[in-house]
Amino acid sequence: MSLETLQARIDYRFKDVARLRQALTHRSFGQPNNERLEFLGDSVVNHVVALALFSRFPELREGDLSRLRAQLVCQDALHGLAVELQLGAVLRLGEGELKSRGAERPSILSDALEAVFAAVYLDGGFDAAKAVIDRLFADHLTHLDPKSSLKDPKTRLQEWLQARRRQLPKYRLVETRGEAHAQEFEVECTIDGGMQTRGTGSSRRAAEQQAASAAMEKLEQHAG
């Protein structure tokens, strides 16, 4: 995939494409890389999503809005958006990261997406960044139900199974990857009947939540 294609997918054309190139450059590739842009992008996406939630749910309290925002901009959510954009195909990674399939790693992809948001902000201003983020999050916001979303995936899955008098899920750590300061965990969730899903995250808990979310999605699809 080319940078031209990526710009079409986010519906924003850079005046200075070097900013986009830097946003897609991992520190393993060299300098300048996307670490500073990631820092800025994290603030930009939090701001834009906070505005969207504030407007969409005028009845929710501050704590509930904070929890919803945390779900929408967490690593797993950003990783999902990055995969949809096929961001991994245009990342610039060092040889070691390429060999270890860094272009598929949730932490690297989510960080790169935040960096892209920052690059848009620096290139076109806040309104341009807001437009890109609003478009990418539109589907998530449309289907967001605070009553269910305010419960974490593991809780939702447990309650769903208990309501149907089924056994509770079992979680198993499958693999731990990466160096101590940047570990990634992979967890398997098994439900009676043979259904299995997997999740990855920067902590075992985060990986379990992702695996539970995937299981919940499958169960709801089958039930529907």
| Residues annotated in a binding site for Mg(2+) | 38, 111, 114
Binding site, annotated residues: 38, 111, 114
User: Which candidate in 76, 97, 114, 186 is catalytic?
Assistant: 114
Q: Quick one: tokens of 212?
A: 């539970």
DSSP for the chain, written as a single string: --HHHHHHHHT---SSHHHHHHHTB-TTT-SS-SHHHHHHHHHHHHHHHHHHHHHH-TT--HHHHHHHHHHHTSHHHHHHHHHHHTGGGG-B--HHHHHTTGGG-HHHHHHHHHHHHHHHHHHH-HHHHHHHHHHHHHHHHHT--HHHHTS-HHHHHHHHHHHTT-PPPEEEEEEEES-GGG-EEEEEEEETTTEEEEEEESSHHHHHHHHHHHHHHHHHHHH-
Confirm whether 84 is a catalytic residue.
no
**C-beta of residue 153 within 8 angstroms of C-beta of residue 210:** yes
CA 186 from centroid of its chain's CA atoms: 15
Confirm whether 42 is a catalytic residue.
yes
User: Which candidate in 11, 16, 35, 42 is catalytic?
Assistant: 42
CA distances from 141 to 49, 51, 110, 114 (A): 9, 12, 19, 18
Q: Which residues are catalytic?
A: 42, 114
